[in-house]
Structure formats: structure tokens, C-alpha cells
Structure 1
């Protein structure tokens, strides 16, 4: 009780000065009244190291989330309009970073930062920054610092600030989906925002553990970014399809354009083919009385780019026409000389294997063309005749579906508006 009275006596002048209404300014007499508090008394009670000054932002939409009557998602709408307004100028990394800096300057407390970060994650592919590690670190910097750090083990046990932690985990998951490995700056930001014992920090540790192990696990890596040259892209895709290291890639036609006799510009697409020595031997043994077929297009995805290829094949031979193939066991790993199986089997075990065998015809060659028309594929067949003379006396049938470019042209023709004859008569 004595200590409480001393505190009340010590704070009495400050509290009375705060409650006393302000009077008109008087001239200083040089004497200090015992009931008069110093001018910075109230400021010492509610002091803060950071002031809430709001400098003018570069975008008018950052004045704050505006909620209209009957709308509960006013903040989301405001932030989406902010990115849309910024994208009208230019969709670049500089514009995206300007939006993030403008939001950070809007308010010291960063109110509405969770909704803003979710919207910024959605807008990343539009600005082309979904694979930029500094942009992700800048996005994590939007979180207030040292606010969501748990102060006791009880707060860590009950998932301190779960909404903010889930938002940070979503940022790290998007980095994982695009194959972005976080760095030391990401770790420092997460420790400053959520502390060491948090879900975002655990997600960061798992990324650092698994990403280096799976980085070079693919035996057929795809370069990032993909080559812009269509010939190099076709060479890369055909080498991934071929199962023989001795396959040879041949460029039958380079993409070029020239002026025709009537003055119109004519574009020639690329024609790239691949064939292995074994495929060449199989084609030489083919009966020229039976036709071969050109089929396609078949899709192949390289990351987010879809390319199409065509194959040259024949129908499977009938069972009576197949010649038995002798395999030397000393030169084949598929047929070893001796196989020892020490398996404990019961009388009720079924040793028969249920395998659905589909007999397909052999594939003699593959190619990629820029335009999937029959004229370009005929040029490919004429180029194959230089190394496969049997194609000169073998009928070739084209079982080709419309290519991607032909489908786009057909869709464009369908979308063209057609005026009604009655309306045309009325206009005349």
C-alpha cells in the first residue's frame, strides 16, 4: 500500500495536468507552480520511437482501402485496382516494386498487409516477376517487424498469429512451385518477423534441406529459360523423345521468308527430323508393298511450352510373318546366362503375370515442323529419301490431324461477325 501511494503521488501532477483543461497562455513569471506539469509529461507516458507520418504516395489508390456500402471485400478490390492501374503504365519488375514500396510508405503499422500480399502473389505472373528472388524478399519485407514473434512457449504452442504465418507460408510455397531457393536474406526476414520457432521458419528449413537434393536428380534436365530459336527448341525436344544416343538430328529447312512473284511475302517454317541407325535398318527391311504412315501431331510439354511432333511408322506385322529373333545372351543384359531366385513361394502362389501387351508398329523417324500442313511433311519425307532410298518405292499415307496453327486460323474465322441479310438491306 505504501508503494502504491508513492506511485500515485508521483503520477499525480501528470494525471492532473492531463485532465485539466487548457487555459489561455499566460506570461512566464519565472516561478514554477507545483501543480504545473512539464510540457513533455504526456509524451513520456505514451512515447513511441516511430511516428505515424504519411508521406504522399506515388499512386492515388494507396490512400487506403475503401469499403463501399454492402461490400465486405473493399480492401481486396482497392488493392486489385492498384495493380491494375500500375499495369496500364508497364508490366515490369520496376513497376511491381514501386507498388510494394508505395504500400510500405502508406502506413507504419502496415494495416491490411495480409490481403495486399495475397493480391501481390496473384499478380506476380502478370508482371513477369514470379521467378525473381529479390521480389519475394521484398514481399516478405511488407510484414511488420518484431510484432508476430512469440514471447513465451505458450504462444508458440497455440500458433501465435496464425493468419499471418499462413500468409508467409503461402509466399514460400509459391517460391517452391517456381523452383526458387531462398537465401540468407529470406532467413533474416523470417527470423525478424516471426522468430525462430514458427511455421514459416520451419518451411524455410525444409526448402533448404530438400531443394539441393532434388536439383540435379533429373537425368534429362530442361534448360531454364528455353532457347528462343525454334530450330534449337525442336532439336532439344526430339533428343528428349529419342531413346538412342546415336540418333542424328537433321535440319531439312530453316525458317525464312521471301517475296513471291506476285509481291506477297511467303514464310517458310522450320523442318527438323531425327533418326537413329536402328530405325534406318528397320526401314530398310520394310516390305515396300506395304505403306508407311505419317501421323500426328502429338504434344510434348517443355515446362510451360507445348511443341508438337510427327512420326513415320508402319502397321504391325501379322504373327505368322514375324521372324524369330535370336538374342546372344553374352551380349545382352536383358537375357543373362544365369538367374538365381531365392524366393519363398507357397503352393497357392500364382506365378503367372497379367500383362496387357499391345503390339504397335515400328517407328522409323520423327520430326517437328513449324506449320503442320501436308506440304511441309512432304518435304520431310523427300529429305528422308536421301538416307532411306526405300521410301522412293514405298507408298506414304498421311494420317494427319489439323495442326495448332490451322486450329487458330479456323477459330478466328468462326469468330468473325456475320451480318444478317435483312440488316444489310436496311442499311442500304
Structure 2
């Protein structure tokens, strides 16, 4: 009823305005403003400077790259404009530059990024806005921040929830993402029985010890440092560098090497890559061919009528499909492993000489080196492809010329 009365009053007001005579002034007609609409709700408006959105890539591309300079860029942006125009571009640029500033695992910096969003602007006012993803670009940007936290294993805290709820509301998608992370992170935090150290050693010898201990399947394996990295000044004035050499061998591997058949050689293979977080190291192995294994001697107490292992085919259900193909690949035994600063034959030959102290049989065995060039980028042979294409075109043109000549001869 009230809305009907307002509609009738507005109709009478419009009819009265139509009957009013136009006021003509000497300088021309003046338009009369009759309706005034208020501005949409939002944060207070301040007069922005002439350049509101700074080039964020140039702001982060500075010489001094640390946490203080990274946070300084965020503080300068938040202090320039109350409405914080361009906050999505700033956050996306900050996510790209975080690994170079060394703050990709800092929870305080991620909370600082979420604090860049304007507060109480993107909160839905009714259930329809909540259902249709109110301000989708801003919510997706906040989810990208949480995705990067998940990628680097950063667990959010209560302050993160407070910032997300203050910006997008309690029932928004970023808050749901936060709840999933807080549910699963504590459960998978200690699931790995052999976790990688949080801070990796910068010393190559210490890093080699950690890597070899992770590769070795036997916990009784002993790590031995055969050579430390050093430099030596020769008589002619040249400086000769001596790289590090670290090896590992278990008591079981020593017994296997002692039982090796002297007729067959041992092989040094490598390098093989091993990734620890963002660091890639290379290791070498001393192994034998599969044919050098000695045949298993039957236990005299074994009975052929009562075998030790029974292969029983137990049918569980008609719907279970247990048929699959398995390729049995025979591999030779591995006798030792090492990590060296340089993977040339001279350095690896020194490793074999050091192994002879605990493995005397190794001095009687021939050693083969199967070394590769290591990790390389794949490059396409563009020039060869061009030459092959030219050769095909030349052959096709020659063939056409011969067919033309034969056709002319037939006509004659």
C-alpha cells in the first residue's frame, strides 16, 4: 500500500513538472535537475593521485630483494588509495615475484597480501549473491593466494580466516578453501616417514650425505667422505681444483661384491638425477649385469611335496577384474653409490680405488664406465629438418622433369 502511494505521488510530481513553463535566460535555456540519486555503498572516496595504478612489475624488479622491500611495496600501495584500485594486478604480480624475494613460505607475507583487498565491499548482501559467486574475480584471486600457500606447504592460521571473512564473508569460496586446507594439512603433515629437511645444506658434502642416506635402502649403510673440496696451487702457478667425493655402502653390499664372479666386469653408471625440493643433484652407482647373479642353491631341508610358497587363485567376486600385465625387468645388484663434484672417469676411478680398501676383490675385476652427459635441454634439429625438406622438394622437381621429358618423347 505504501509503495502504491509513493507511485501515485511520483506520477503527480511528473505531471506538475510538465505543466511548468520553461525559463528562458539571455544566455540560453538552463536544465532543471529534479531527481538526485545517492552513490552506491562502499568505502569512502578519496581524491586519487594522477597515477593510481603503479607498474607493479617495475616496483618488484629492484636490486634489493628481501622481505622488507617486498612488504614495503605492499604498504606503499595500501597507503596511496583508499579504494585500492588495481589490487588484483598487484596481488598477481606479488605471487609471481615471491620466490625471487625468498618469501614464498612466509605466512606473515601471505596474510599481508590478503590484507590488500578492500574490506566489507565484496560481502554478499543476500542469498542470491551468495549463490551466484559475488565478485568472482576477487574471490578467484584470493583462492590463487591460498593455492600458492598449499603448493609451498604453508598452513593458514586464525588471522587468515579473519581476513577472508572480513573481505568476502563467512560463506564465500575462499573461506571454504581455508577450511579444507585446515582440515587436511594436519593429517598429511606427518604422513611421510622420510621427510625432506626444511632447510637444505648449502655445503655440497653435507648435502651429498643427506641425499645418499635417502637413496640407500639399508639403514646400516655407512657414508664415507673420500675427498673434501679444495684448491691446490701447482709449481707452474696454475690453480687446480679438487671437487668433493662422497660414497655410501652397506654391509650387505660388501658381501654381494665379495661373492661377485671375477669373470664378469662391474659397471659404473650415471649420472642419475635426484630432486630435493628445488635442488637437483646427481649420483653414480657401481653395479653388475643381471647375468652375473649366482644361482640360488636349494635348501637341503626343502621338500618338493610341501613347497614353501603356495600360489593360490582366490576368487573374490565375479565383478573383480584382476588381470593385468606385469613386465619383469631384471636388474643387476648395486654394490655402492657416490656423489662427486665432477663426473669424469678420473674422479670416478679415484672412487673405485678408495673402495678397494674395504672390497679387495674389486682390484681384480675389470671396471666399465657407462657415463652420460647428464641433464640437457632438448633442442630440435631445425637445420636438419630444413635440409631434408629441401632435399624432398629437389627430388620431386627432378621426378616431374623426367616425366615431362618422357611425355614429350612419346608425343614425338
Query: If the length of structure 2 is used for normalisation, what is the TM-score?
Result: 0.75
Q: By how many angstroms is 1:303 displaced? A: 0.9
Where does residue 51 of structure 2 map in the other structure?
63
Where does residue 295 of structure 2 map in the other structure?
322
Where does residue 375 of structure 1 map in the other structure?
346
Change (3 A) 1:116 1:365: same
Spell out the pairing of 1:230-269 with structure 2 (5 A cutoff). Answer: 230-269=204-243
The partner residue of 2:278 within 282, 295, 304 is 304
The partner residue of 2:365 within 394, 397, 400 is 394
**Residues 293 and 313, structure 1, Cα contact 8 Å, conserved in 2:** yes
Change (3 A) 1:318 1:246: closer
3-state SS in 2 of match to 1:63: coil
Give a deviation string over 1:322-348, Cα, whole Å, max 9, x none. Answer: 24464999xxxxx977898864578x9
Give a deviation string over 1:155-211, Cα, whole Å, max 9, x none. Answer: 111111111111100110011011111111111111111110100000011110000
Spell out the pairing of 1:346-425 with structure 2 (5 A cutoff). Answer: 354-402=325-373
Ranges in structure 1 where 5+ consecutive residues have no aligned partner:
9-41, 57-61, 66-74, 330-334, 409-428
Spell out the pairing of 1:275-294 with structure 2 (5 A cutoff). Answer: 275-294=249-268
User: What is the CA–CA distance in structure 2 between the aligned matches of 1:283 and 1:93, rounded to whole Å?
Assistant: 52
The partner residue of 1:122 within 88, 93, 96 is 96
Q: Which of structure 1's runs of 4+ aligned residues deviate more than 6 A?
A: 44-49, 335-341, 348-353
Where does residue 80 of structure 1 map in the other structure?
57
3-state SS in 2 of match to 1:317: helix
Where does residue 134 of structure 2 map in the other structure?
160
Ranges in structure 2 where 5+ consecutive residues have no aligned partner:
11-35, 378-412
Query: If the length of structure 1 is used for normalisation, what is the TM-score?
Result: 0.72
Q: By how many angstroms is 1:293 displaced? A: 1.0
Where does residue 220 of structure 1 map in the other structure?
194
User: What is the CA–CA distance in structure 1 between the aligned matches of 2:300 and 2:135, rounded to whole Å?
Assistant: 68
User: What is the CA–CA distance in structure 2 between the aligned matches of 1:204 and 1:390, rounded to whole Å?
Assistant: 60
How many residues get paired? 342
Change (3 A) 1:342 1:402: closer
Where does residue 176 of structure 1 map in the other structure?
150
**Residues 63 and 106, structure 1, Cα contact 8 Å, conserved in 2:** no
The answer to whether 1:52 aligns with 2:46 is yes
